[in-house]
Amino acid sequence: MTEIIKKLFSILSKRQKRSVAGLGVMILIGAVLETAGVSMIVPLAQAMLDAEALATNQYVILVQDMLGIKSMEQFIIVLLFSVVAVFVIKNTYLLFMNYVQAKFVNKNQFLTVSYMMDEYLNRPYEFYLNADIPTVFRTLDSDIPKVFLVLMSFIQLMTEVVVSVFLCVVLLVVDPVMTIMISVILLFMTFIIVKIMKPRLNSLGQENQEIQSRMGKWRNQSIFGIKEVKVLHKENYFVENYSVYAKDGADLNSKYTVFNNMPRLLIETICIGGLLSYMAICIMMGQDIVEMAPQMMAFAVAAVRLMPSVNRINTHVTNIAFYGPSVHFVYDNVDFRDYKMEKKVSQRAIEVKEPIEVKESIALEQVTYKYPNSDKMILDQADMRIPIGKSVGIIGPSGAGKTTAVDILMGLLDIQGGKITCGGRDVMENYGSWLSHIGYIAQNIYLTDDPIRDNVAFGVNREDIDDKRIWEVLEEAQMKEFVESLPEGLDTSVGERGVRISGGQRQRLGIARALYHNPEILVFDEATSALDTETETAIMEAIDKFHGRKTMIIIAHRLRTIENCDMIFKVEGGKITETTLEGKQ
């Protein structure tokens, strides 16, 4: 548990730690109020059961003199209203404290999830080449909420411990023997829970993480590949594999429910049995029940508050044990240095640098690259120079590194040697400026389940979209007439991943998207390889219209797609060489 606390505090920023300290002060005040409410039950019970004996109490006489009370009846009435007032103030304060705690946890959970989304999206492109995407989703959707569930459990654990300690002090004054007996029993039960149940719950928590990732994997694979799943009639295959983990998850949660409820039932049974047995022993030993009544009433009220408190303590301990693996995972896999410096999400400080100008030529100079965790050299001191304004075709055997070379040119991959330049300047000196000059058209265009307008102006807020520019780029991509023929025009939804439009139309929307910000460089990553010959010819006609107007880099799957290019480069054996299509048709 100490390790989890250290990791939680490593995740939290300085401001959040100060807020936790403030919550600690509020918890102490709440404990005092809880104790005051219970403490007032003793004089109230004595006043109701034996007013004459209470009238001779020096403290009662002192209070009567201070308040000007003349009779015991008036004193009892004042005492009754005082108890009511204390409980109203106490419970109002505790409600407010619960609100402050919940607001702190939920607000900071939102900030942390937003930060993590920012942190994930700003990771190098290489991270996603081998990333376990379901685990990424699980981290955002499950692990972070559980981290703050653990934080809330610690805060509430601290609340219950402080209240329990204060109440135990009151009970020690009322009846030391019974208090010590019950406290020993409760401490023994807590020890058993921590030493025996906590390791098992921790193990269940780790199993739960793995199950959630595997369920996410089968869910994503089945939904993202729904067309192939349907055509191959493999619905049962995916359902069965998903169900295996879903069943394991259900069984695991059943075990957790049993473990989580076991302490409460044991403690309640032992405490009630111990309390009633103690009272029976006192009666058998000849103690006067009337004399015991005020102490028993105070003890009963305190126990009613203390038992749930002890139950909650053990519940929080089990929650911390079960969800602790999420804290360990987040701590080990997320870089919180920027977060702790309290940078705002997606508002990272950007150093003002001179923009990259698209002039003269784009060049890969002595570039060396191999993928992480691989010994195979994809590019080995490779060179390529692309004059601005020219159209360039990239060819090569499958797996030779055509796409890799272009990914490097766009700055997506961290090279081990060499540099990428434009006009003789290293593009990484101002990477944001370099990206602003590039329009990218992939083989499989990613379309969201949004209107055509939003898909063309990808990543632009709705209120900032320029419809005039949308129509301009749709016309350039030879898509304008089709969109105009649609009943809803630009408001037509294309469906998740563009399932409601044809492959050729998806590619044209991809071209329109790439053109929206008027880039000077267009990169086509086998953009027509998945199309039939007729559709490919139509798309290439649209692409050829940019000849001489844009610098075009076309990765070719079929040589006919680059027959009109000004230059051809071949990627093979770790090198990039200029070549021609003569004899290759």
Share of the chain above pLDDT 70, in %: 79
For the ranges 115-119, 192-196, 554-558, the lowest mean pLDDT is seen at: 192-196
User: What number of other Cβ atoms are within 10 A of residue 196's Cβ?
Assistant: 10
Phi, psi of 124 (to 5 degrees): -60, 150
d(Cα 95, Cα 85) in Å, to the nearest integer? 15
Return the top range by mean pLDDT from 286-290, 303-307, 359-363, 545-549: 359-363
Nearest 10 degrees: CA dihedral of 402, 404, 405, 411?
150
Distances, alpha carbon 559 to alpha carbons 159, 400, 564, 568, 581, in Å: 72, 16, 10, 10, 8
Angle in degrees, CA 113, 116, 117, rounded to 5: 85
Give the chain's domains with CATH numbers. Answer: 2-203+263-340 (1.20.1560.10), 361-579 (3.40.50.300)
Region 78-100 average pLDDT: 85
Return the top range by mean pLDDT from 240-254, 281-295, 308-322: 240-254
Region 190-198 average pLDDT: 70
Residues 6 or more apart whose CB falls under 8 angstroms from that of 253 comprise: 208
Q: What is residue 157's predicted lDDT score, i.e. its pLDDT?
A: 82
Report pTM: 0.67
- Per-residue pLDDT tens over the stretch 390-436: 999 998 888 888 889 999 999 888 899 999 999 989 998 888 889 88
d(Cα 123, Cα 130) in Å, to the nearest integer? 13
Q: What is residue 196's predicted lDDT score, i.e. its pLDDT?
A: 73
* For residue 323, pLDDT beyond 90: no
Q: What is residue 343's predicted lDDT score, i.e. its pLDDT?
A: 46
Phi, psi of 287 (to 5 degrees): -70, 145
d(Cα 457, Cα 460) in Å, to the nearest integer? 6
- Per-residue pLDDT tens over the stretch 515-546: 899 999 999 888 776 666 767 777 777 788 88
d(Cα 531, Cα 431) in Å, to the nearest integer? 33
Higher pLDDT, 51 or 111: 111
Region 351-377 average pLDDT: 86
d(Cα 495, Cα 492) in Å, to the nearest integer? 9
- Tokens 């692990």 correspond to 143
Q: Widest CA span of the chain, in angstroms?
A: 119
Q: What is residue 54's predicted lDDT score, i.e. its pLDDT?
A: 64
* For residue 573, pLDDT beyond 80: yes
- Per-residue pLDDT tens over the stretch 236-271: 877 888 788 888 878 887 877 777 667 666 766 776
Residue by residue, DSSP assigns 247-292 as: HHHHHHHHHHHHHHHHHHHHHHHHHHHHHHHHHHHHHHTT--HHHH
Half-sphere exposure of 129 (CA within 13 A, CB side): 13
d(Cα 72, Cα 117) in Å, to the nearest integer? 67
Q: What is residue 387's predicted lDDT score, i.e. its pLDDT?
A: 93
Q: Which of 321, 265, 309, 4 is nearest to 161 (CA)?
A: 309
* For residue 495, pLDDT beyond 80: no
Tell me how far the alpha carbon of residue 210 is from its chain's centroid.
16
d(Cα 28, Cα 158) in Å, to the nearest integer? 10
Q: What is residue 302's predicted lDDT score, i.e. its pLDDT?
A: 56
User: What number of other Cβ atoms are within 10 A of residue 331's Cβ?
Assistant: 17
Q: What is residue 106's predicted lDDT score, i.e. its pLDDT?
A: 81
pLDDT band at 344 (very low <50, low <70, confident <90, very high): very low
Region 272-288 average pLDDT: 72
Higher pLDDT, 448 or 48: 448
d(Cα 21, Cα 12) in Å, to the nearest integer? 12
Q: In whole numbers, what is the pLDDT of the chain averaged over residues?
A: 78
Tell me how far the alpha carbon of residue 458 is from its chain's centroid.
24
